[in-house]
Amino acid sequence: MTNTPFKDLTHPSRRGFLGMTMLTAAGLGLSGLPGAARAQATGQVIVGISQEPTVFNPHLLHIEVDEGIHWAIFDPLFSVEPDGSFAPRLVTEVPSIENGGISEDGTEWKITLKEGVTWHDGTPLTAEDVKFTLELQKDPDFRAARRTGHELIEEITVVSDTELTWKMSSAFAPYMAILSWTFIVPKHAFDGVDPNEAPFNQSPIGTGPYKWDSRAPGDNIQLVANPDYHGDGASIERIVVKYVPDLTVLYTQFKTGDIDVIALQGISPDHYAEASTLEGKTVELVPVGTVETLSLNLGNPVLADKAVREALYLGVDKTTILEALYYGLPTPTETYMPQQSFYYNPDLPEHVYDPEAGKALLDEAGWVPGSDGIREKDGQRLSFICSTTAGNHVREQMQQFLQQSWKEMGIEMEISNLPPAVMWADHWMQSQFDMAVAGIIFLTGPDPDTTNYMSTDSINAQGGAGQNTFQISIPELDELLKKGATTVSPEARKPIYAEIQSMIREELPFLPLFQRNEVRGHLEGLQGYEPNINVRITFWNMQDWSWA
């Protein structure tokens, strides 16, 4: 299959089609007169989630569920649509080299804001707010969640109330994606207060389709439609985001009708079959960007041998694992790139389950069975420890299954699982594991850059800063990553990332198992609940929801 940039146009999938209609809708919204009559928003929807949103300042450290609230209350300059394209929110036009919004070398940016946008408190939005938001990320006293990209901004100039320009010290292609979830916050809400402790953080003011209404801690958050929204306003008047900590209870409340939408982790796989038979409810599989991996630590002398990594992968009976343990829900994959991405490389060699070939490979590499049947080479036993979050039963079953499969090949794997706070702290970040079962979102939004996970500078265990916990270090790969991050045009970047993917598939710093699909449920009458693989949260577009 050839993969043209216009795949979505030539073979319109349902998702692609929806993306297109949404783009058109966004375009129409722009041309609509600001004062045009708009239908009154009515009704309410109760969204059930298993984690509680608590951080309402979108620039403080937060978890994914908080972003559902951020998307409703705030606007970024432009947002990323399900097909990976950008659509204007607060700007009149998404900046690009073609329209002069970004200079040829990618370092000079120009943004024009829409006229007549107001904050929920009635204050008009100006370029000063945008400047403040971008500068807040670099404020040494502010606990900004991340500074990547923003750090490159050297100088922001406010040209007029609706226009601003900035210079960057170097071109950084992922900055488009970063801006697409950098929600603009009001400067006046931070006047004279510590931004970490501003009252704003507890009762946020945005420009978004929904306004903050109330919060009952530990229970629910209520949002009401913003009648003065500058785009196509919401058609559901009230959103209740209900916190139900237990997944079984969450599903029960969905069945009884206490909640209308199951968001976030969705319905657990073992309930999928039953859920699809529920009357009056729509239950569907939605791809998410998380790739389930068997992450390998190349700093381990045994796993540093590429033949061992290949043999391990040959010994993984993926089909059985998927069917028997995961109810056939996830999609098998060979790469870290979500298959919906524009940059996905579909031509990678397909995994085969062939333990005999694996054994032959090990024999060839000099790993020969010792007296206890476990292979050895130069006095080193082919043995390692596999760890993951304790209490994840499906993963534990998979570990036991793998343990057996590999044992037949003369490979010894021990299982030692840890509580989440231990597992993902130094054990993971400082590469203290041998093998880890980890679900990783490699991409930040739609941008294909994965320098953070794959470059030599990102190995924490070797004094770097990032999350290259595999400790993969290949000069050619570093080169390619650098080239990809500084190349601005998507068409030019595509072959670079295709090559990175085949290099990773070849080197196997992690064994790619599958891309996760989430089981999502909502009342049949709810329309417009569309998935978007490019954002972190499932309920990102509540302004497009409506009751049939």
Partner 1 sequence: MIRFLTHRTLQGIVLILIVSMIGFTVINLAPGGPLSQYAMTPGMSQQDLDRIAHQMGLDRPIPVQYLDWLVNMVSGDWGKSYRDQSPVLDVVWRHMGATLLLMGTSTAIAVALGTLIGVLGALKRYSVFDYMATVGAMIALSIPTFWFGLVAIFFFSLELGWLPAGNMYTVGDQSFSDYAIHLIMPSIVLALVNVAIWSRYMRASTLDVMDQDYVRTARAKGLPRWRIVSAHIVRNALIPMITLAGLQLPTIIGGALVTETVFTWPGLGRLFIDSLGYNDYPVIMGLLMFSAILTVIGNFLADVGVALADPRIRLG
Which residues of the shown chain bind partner 1 in the complex (CB under 8 A)?
44, 46, 52, 54-56, 60-61, 63-64, 141, 143, 145-148, 196-197, 201-202, 216-220, 222, 240, 242-246, 248-249, 252-253, 255-256, 258, 289, 419-422, 424-429, 438, 440-445, 452, 458, 460, 465-467, 536
Provide CB contacts within 8 A for 507, sequence distance 6+.
306, 309, 472, 474
Nearest Cα residue to 178 out of 544, 443, 491: 443
Going 111 to 117 to 118 to 124, the CA torsion angle's sign is positive
Beta carbon of residue 51, minimum distance to partner 1 (angstroms, whole number): 9
- Please identify, using beta-carbon distances, which residue of 216 and 492 lies nearer to partner 1: 216
CA distance 525 to 260: 10
Nearest Cα residue to 376 out of 389, 385, 365: 365
Beta carbon of residue 238, minimum distance to partner 1 (angstroms, whole number): 8
> Cβ(296)–Cβ(511) under 8 Å?
yes
Beta carbon of residue 457, minimum distance to partner 1 (angstroms, whole number): 10
- Please identify, using beta-carbon distances, which residue of 123 and 467 lies nearer to partner 1: 467
- Please identify, using beta-carbon distances, which residue of 32 and 245 lies nearer to partner 1: 245
Beta carbon of residue 89, minimum distance to partner 1 (angstroms, whole number): 21
- Please identify, using beta-carbon distances, which residue of 242 and 318 lies nearer to partner 1: 242
Beta carbon of residue 287, minimum distance to partner 1 (angstroms, whole number): 16
Instruction: State the DSSP string of 379-439.
Output: TEESEEEEE-BTT-HHHHHHHHHHHHHHHTTT-EEEE--B-HHHHTTHHHHTT--SEEEEE
End-to-end CA distance of the chain: 39
Paired sense of beta strands 86-88 and 42-49, if any: unpaired
E strands, 297-353, in order: 331-332
Beta carbon of residue 222, minimum distance to partner 1 (angstroms, whole number): 7
CA distance 504 to 484: 15
CA 200 to chain centre: 26
- Please identify, using beta-carbon distances, which residue of 246 and 364 lies nearer to partner 1: 246
Beta carbon of residue 158, minimum distance to partner 1 (angstroms, whole number): 28
- Please identify, using beta-carbon distances, which residue of 88 and 445 lies nearer to partner 1: 445
- Please identify, using beta-carbon distances, which residue of 118 and 148 lies nearer to partner 1: 148
Beta carbon of residue 421, minimum distance to partner 1 (angstroms, whole number): 3
E strands, 71-188, in order: 78-80, 86-88, 108-112, 153-160, 163-168
Tell me how far CA of residue 97 lies from CA of 17, 105, 167, 222, 289, in angstroms. Answer: 26, 9, 14, 41, 28
- Please identify, using beta-carbon distances, which residue of 171 and 223 lies nearer to partner 1: 223
The amino acid at 289: G
Please compute, for residue 467, the number of CA atoms within 13 A of its CA located in the half-sphere on the CB side. Answer: 13
- Please identify, using beta-carbon distances, which residue of 13 and 196 lies nearer to partner 1: 196
> Cβ(517)–Cβ(285) under 8 Å?
yes
CA distance 506 to 510: 10
Beta carbon of residue 444, minimum distance to partner 1 (angstroms, whole number): 4
